[in-house]
Structure 1
Amino acid sequence: MHEKSKEIAAYNSVLINKIDDFIKEKFKEYGYKDINPSNASVLCIVCRNGGKVKIGEIYDSLLKQKSTITESIKKLVKKGYLKKVKCTKDKRVTYVVVTEKAKIFQKDFNKISEELSNIIFEGFDKEEREILNDLIVRAINNFNKKELQS
């Protein structure tokens, strides 16, 4: 195995920390002291799905523990970014719906995401961006396959 390949976990950790620090700093700049990157990922899933999504679909979209996602949803409801709504046809189904506060956040978060992408991919051409994305998705899928086998 190539030496650089053995260091992927360390490189990944450094990149995650840099991204997390960048997002936290931007949240402060934009005045979002009541939200963190983990909660923002839950909120973005809801926004990307038209502002209303079944809680189960959030579990399926994020590679996090259900308890972590549930806690994020509770915090976002308490802080006024989301509200829970029971399905009228099937009482077992609960939706989360964005509020006006969430819509304002989403506009700012899109700007932050664009700035983050520009930093990460500075000096990369379009093909390199796509290759990096594809390789990361393949690596994640390798873990997903392994989990299914267990």
Structure 2
Amino acid sequence: MNDKYIVYFISRTKANMIKFIENKLKISGLNDLVPTHGNILTALYESNGKLTMKEIAKKIGKDKSTVTSLVNRLISLGYIEKEKCDKDKRVTYIKLTDKARSIEGKFNNISSQVKETAYNNFTEDEKKEFLRLLKKLSNNFKDAN
């Protein structure tokens, strides 16, 4: 087997997926969003619209500085806002705005299209095996670091 192309195809697949998402965002009139914003919005949509920065970072697997940059951009675009905790003023929540709630349907539609496209012509067994192998590959790099 010629395994030298595995990393190449993973990289190429990621680039193609990002381009696909960018096109879907544009078609949906969400030109101000980029694919990396999707992770934060998804985390918030799945968590009743309110999380701390630390919780977001953990959910999306990114470091806090990366999350801070993305959150600040989403705040400037009006999709999220910061809110101090009533019980502990040291805690700041990141919460969805009405603008973010108003695009949830479009956002979920794009997410569905991504999944449908990704798993087109895959059997359930193939999806399970593919996920198992991707996790194994990811853990190899995680362990090496």
- TM-score computed with the length of structure 2 as normaliser: 0.91
Q: Which amino acid in the other structure matches residue 2 of structure 2?
A: E
Query: CA shift at 1:104, angstroms?
Result: 2.4
Which of 101, 115, 126 aligns to 2:124? It is 126
Q: Distance in 1 between matches of 2:28 and 2:43?
A: 20
Verify the 8 A CA contact 1:82 1:98 in the aligned structure 2. Answer: yes
Match of 2:34 in 1: 36
Q: Which amino acid in the other structure matches residue 38 of structure 1?
A: T
Q: Distance in 1 between matches of 2:45 and 2:110?
A: 15
Query: CA shift at 1:42, angstroms?
Result: 1.2
Larger displacement relative to structure 2 (57-66 or 79-88): 57-66
Verify the 8 A CA contact 2:85 2:93 in the aligned structure 1. Answer: yes
Q: Distance in 2 between matches of 1:23 and 1:34?
A: 13
Q: Which amino acid in the other structure matches residue 86 of structure 1?
A: K
Query: CA shift at 1:63, angstroms?
Result: 2.8
Local SS of the residue matching 2:83 = strand
Local SS of the residue matching 1:31 = coil
Q: Distance in 2 between matches of 1:103 and 1:78?
A: 16
Query: CA shift at 1:129, angstroms?
Result: 1.0
- TM-score computed with the length of structure 1 as normaliser: 0.88
Cα distance change on mapping 1:14 and 1:71 into 2, 3 Å: same
Where do 4+ consecutive residues of structure 1 move more than 4 Å?
Answer: none
Verify the 8 A CA contact 2:53 2:64 in the aligned structure 1. Answer: no
Structure 2 unpaired stretches of 5+: none
Q: CA offsets, 1:49-95, max 9 Å, x none?
A: 11111110111122333222101101111111101111122222211
> Superposition RMSD on alpha carbons, in Å?
1.5
Q: Distance in 2 between matches of 1:80 and 1:46?
A: 14
Which of 138, 141, 147 aligns to 2:139? It is 141
Cα distance change on mapping 1:146 and 1:106 into 2, 3 Å: farther
Q: Distance in 2 between matches of 1:51 and 1:142?
A: 34
Q: Which amino acid in the other structure matches residue 92 of structure 1?
A: R
Q: Distance in 2 between matches of 1:45 and 1:60?
A: 10
Identity of aligned residues (%): 32
Q: Does residue 1:106 correspond to 2:99, yes or no?
A: no
